[in-house]
Structure 1
Amino acid sequence: MAEITAAAVKELRERTGAGMMDCKKALAENNGDMEASIDWLRAKGLAAAAKKAGRQAAEGLVGVAVQGTKGAVVEVNSETDFVAKNETFQEFVRNVAQIVLETGSDIEALNDAAYPGGGTVAEKLTNNIATIGENQSLRRAAVLEVSQGAVVSYVHNAAATGLGKIGVLVALESAAPAETLQALGKQIAMHIAAANPLALNAEDLDPALIERERGIAQEKANESGKPANIVEKMVEGSIAKFRKENALVSQLFVMDNKTPVAEVVASAGKDAGSPITLKAFVRFQLGEGIEKQQSDFAAEVAAAAGQNKAEPVA
């Protein structure tokens, strides 16, 4: 029997997109013959993932998991929203969220982590692509943890328990009763889902984003025709407003639209008899930042038929 080298397994995996263990088995079954192994994987339906890898995946699910004072959120993408209703896909996202609690947010480490039932997360994902018939990708993950208190999760537009279109984690550090922290955390998480703050505090906002807003404000102020000193005040006023509206602690709580979130937290701590600190939050919205491709179905059909789309008649 031919020796199965790591290099051969790597090459077969790259050429077929199949899982590492499947590639190793294919080579073993075919005495190390690369082409025969490719055919073997194709026959088993395990090489199909390679053909789907180029398709854009911007749908899917966001999953959350909480254990003790630690919470995790993960985004797994698919090509169509239909896959989000698939039980196999849902189970995968749910399991991966649990695994993130142990591995952390590093995607490479997450891909290499053991998956329940055998193999790795990456291998399970590859098998899912072949089974479900759509490209899927493990996009990002995050973890929040507190030494004392609670990490509370919330899912908006839930497709199933802990799975949906928007996933939020809120970290509250306090010695207050668990039920108080859970109730407060849930309300703040719902606020975050709706208001989409860009940072916890104003000073945490991305400097590049502030400079971009400053440029826009400067251009608008210049068009006013007012003196330079007035223009400068207008610009600074616009930036102050932007910071206030996009930092979580200074946003007006969506439940009453008048109380800053920082005051809501302080009030809850006072009522509970123990200070509550809003330490951090994470908000994942499915597909954010992915530029979805616009498909011209007629052009695709014409291309598949080897024809050019007809030019309109003048």
Structure 2
Amino acid sequence: MPMAYPPGAKTHAAQIDAQAFLTEDGASLPLRQWLPTAQANAVIIALHGFNDYNHFFAAAGQYFSSQGIACFAYDQRGFGAAPQRGLWADSKTYADDLQVFTQLIKQRYPGLPVYLLGESMGGAVVITAMSRQDMPKVDGIILSAPALWARSTMPWYQTSLLWTLAHSLPWLTLTGSGLHVQASDNIEMLRELGRDPLVIKATRVETMYGLSDLMDDAYNSAAALHGNILMLYGEKDQIIPKEPTSNFVQQLLASNTAEKTVAVYPNGYHLLLRDLQAATAWNDIVAWINTGTAPLPSGAENRAKQWLGIAWQQ
């Protein structure tokens, strides 16, 4: 059986220090911070993608901090240098951790607008967390190529193989070599990821199964999202297909519970915040934080309308 490895009993008061996010069950999740030299005018909490860790936000965090935005990113359980490396906690645990961390940040920065940013798997965690009623209010969420490849949008043979492996060889690890997909046009960055020992290269099947559960939850949560939303997607994304992303956006746009801005980048890949054109997405995010809506400097929201084949009111 595929296993999840959730936290233990809550025996500690959660806290944040310069190096770690200490959770209520005593897990120490490595933390990185990028703080403005002057007083901050906003805060971003950033969640990394699958098999990645907090370093994913290094370049973006430096840029945002230069714009007066305090940035925080922690290693989620099972990833980077966090405990139980390679093991899947479960969707609820990842959302619970984000909930607690957000509460702590809001206590540290009372009165400042707080934004949640999730890349890929991190975006799916943000979606599921923000669809819950007990999540602290934030001023907006930023979804960069969120992981939305739900089972309902996968080919039957793919879901069948995953189920079979997860229920027979859950400990088996797969590397993904031979898939011939490109995550970014920033080749040097991709080579650095390949050399980085904290980036997981071989993934347990049961962890992939847990990720599929999370993507199912996120894909089905579009109507439950509330607040200001900025969603970014690259037309050259080879990791999360167009179909589930487009379907999710259509559901999101049909919902009246959120203000939405969708941005599509013709030359963007999956790792939009680290692509060669990453600065374009960074500028759009800063502009959106400052105004809360379109137009974006790049005009990517207009491309989104063409890409979706529809028009909508911002």
Class of the TM-score when normalised by the shorter of the 2 chains: under 0.3
User: More helix by proportion, 1 or 2?
Assistant: 1
TM-score (norm 1): 0.25
- The structure number with the bigger radius of gyration is 1
TM-score (norm 2): 0.25
